[in-house]
């Protein structure tokens, strides 16, 4: 069954973008509805692994659904945070990064603000360029780069806090 096959895959993606667990599941269901409604548009005759193509197509649906939801719920989500945060650097020599499990890393990513989280996910995990991110989120390329930089910075801080390493302000 298509739903059973793709549910975990969809939830993994949705969970990285949407902070609330229930809301992430709702996004998965909404993405499935879009998939079922538009399944006739999926071209089976395309060359390549059909399963991989379908997964890729569905992934785009999920991501777009999540971004739409973030826009709807928090209108300023995409606006660039103009308040420069104080840089906080962990002692990278004693980074706890390697000691973290996958779930902890994802949990750290989910702690980011929506805008940073979205840009980080799109750039680092989905592999989009800043141009693509700018078009997707309707922001400038500079804003995309800035948000990514701050996302990484905040992520370092979160990871350092979780691993008990002091940060220096």
CA angle 87, 88, 94 (to 5 degrees): 145
Our CB check for other proteins shows the closer of 16 and 47 to be: 16
d(CA 23, CA 69): 9
Residues at the contact surface with other proteins, assessed by CB under 8 A: 1, 3-4, 7-8, 11-12, 15-16, 21, 24-25, 29-30, 32-33, 36-37, 68-69, 71-72, 92-93, 95, 97-98, 100, 102-103, 105-106, 109, 120, 124-125, 152, 155-156, 159
Our CB check for other proteins shows the closer of 69 and 118 to be: 69
Our CB check for other proteins shows the closer of 11 and 53 to be: 11
d(CA 68, CA 64): 6
Q: Smallest distance from the beta carbon of 116 to other proteins, in angstroms?
A: 13
Q: Please name which of 99, 134, 101, 96 lies closest in space to residue 115, comparing C-alpha atoms.
A: 134
Our CB check for other proteins shows the closer of 46 and 99 to be: 99
Q: Smallest distance from the beta carbon of 11 to other proteins, in angstroms?
A: 5
Q: Smallest distance from the beta carbon of 61 to other proteins, in angstroms?
A: 13
Q: Please name which of 2, 12, 4 lies closest in space to residue 54, comparing C-alpha atoms.
A: 2
CA atoms within 13 A on the CB side of 118: 29
Q: Smallest distance from the beta carbon of 148 to other proteins, in angstroms?
A: 10
Structure tokens at 1: 């069954």
């Amino acid at each position: 069954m298509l739903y059973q096959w793709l549910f975990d895959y969809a939830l993994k993606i949705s969970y990285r973008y949407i902070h609330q667990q229930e809301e992430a599941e709702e996004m998965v269901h909404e993405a499935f509805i879009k998939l079922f409604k538009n399944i006739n548009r999926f071209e089976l005759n395309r060359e390549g692994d059909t399963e991989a193509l379908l997964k890729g197509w569905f992934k785009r649906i999920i991501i777009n659904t999540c971004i739409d939801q973030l826009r709807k719920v928090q209108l300023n989500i995409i606006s660039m945070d103009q308040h420069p945060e104080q840089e906080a650097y962990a002692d990278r020599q004693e980074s706890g990064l390697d000691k973290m499990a996958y779930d902890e890393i994802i949990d750290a990513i989910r702690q980011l603000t929506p805008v940073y989280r979205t840009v980080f996910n799109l750039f680092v995990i989905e592999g989009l360029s800043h141009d693509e991110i700018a078009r997707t989120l309707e922001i400038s390329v500079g804003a995309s780069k800035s948000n990514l930089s701050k996302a990484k910075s905040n992520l370092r801080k979160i990871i350092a806090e979780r691993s008990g390493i002091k940060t220096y302000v």
